[in-house]
Amino acid sequence: MEVPAWRRSLAALASAAALMPGAMPAARAGDLLGITEDVPPFTYLERGRFVGLANEVLDRVAAQSGLRVQRSIQPFARGLKTVEDLPNSFLYVVVRTPAREPLYRWVGPLDDCDLVVMTLRSSGVDFSPHAPDAQALRIGVIKGSPAGKMVREAGMPERSIYQTPGSETSTRMLYAGHLDMVAGLSLPYQHQAARLGLDAGQLMVAHVLQKGYGCYFAFNRQVNETLFQRFAAAFETLRSSGELKALQDRAAQARAARR
């Protein structure tokens, strides 16, 4: 099986560092590996380019800090494992829940990132986990996301929960009638619907699972301290200067223009 280019590059860096006594891990070109998934409008591929708010922020952070960041797009569950295995790596964007707090080192937030349950206005379906017909509901959650756990904690039976690889699959299944609801971040579902040529205006929030945990860059806890501090300081400069807010406002205006 062919080895991904980002993994070949990191392996080469590790080998080179091992030959230099006292060398800091990955303290040169290709310092960090950022793992993301298809989560528009935060991060996605367009004509082979990484675009979206999170990637714009990452571009600014890299320029400010002088770090070079390789990026790879992977399904969320696989991305979790990749970042677990590679010290100088991070996952983005990640909702910062209490359960995840001790697992990563955090930089952010990029957005408030409320976690919600959504359905189509035309469906007439309510999020009522304790109703007698709750077992008939089919709710899509992205594998590895906190939404699945929260839906269970809200009382939805396990047989109602369908795990999918990402927001695009969940959106397709919802509009095709294979799901009654989807759970997670609202913006990716709205963006996916518009991107697929579906009526995004049909989407509505049926229930708020959790407000404002926030979306972050989540670093492996063994990340090189110098690299992490350079990244964190650059993000703070972006935030304190108002540039982060300007990027957020521009992204919101672009979303409104597409509606």
In the predicted model, what is the mean pLDDT of the chain? Answer: 87
According to DSSP, the residues that pair with 219 across neighbouring strands are: 90, 105
pLDDT value, residue 249: 87
Pairing of strands 115-120, 181-185: antiparallel
* Topology given in CATH for the domain delimited by 5-113+214-258: D-Maltodextrin-Binding Protein; domain 2 (3.40.190)
Q: Which residue has the higher pLDDT, 258 or 9?
A: 258
Instruction: Write the class of the CATH domain 115-210.
Output: alpha beta
Query: What is the DSSP secondary-structure string of 181-228?
Result: EEEEEHHHHHHHHHHTT--GGGEEEEEEEES---EEEEEETTS-HHHH
Percentage of the residues of the chain whose pLDDT score is greater than 70: 85
Percentage of the residues of the chain whose pLDDT score is greater than 90: 70
- The residue-averaged pLDDT of 85-96 equals 96
Cβ atoms of 100 and 220 closer than 8 Å: no
- The residue-averaged pLDDT of 169-181 equals 97
Q: Is 86's pLDDT higher than 80?
A: yes
Cβ atoms of 109 and 223 closer than 8 Å: no
Helix (H, G, I), strand (E, B) or coil at 28: coil
Intervals of CATH 3.40.190.10 along the chain: 5-113+214-258, 115-210
pTM of the model: 0.77
Give the least confident one: 23-27, 203-207, 252-256: 23-27
pLDDT value, residue 58: 97
pLDDT value, residue 136: 82
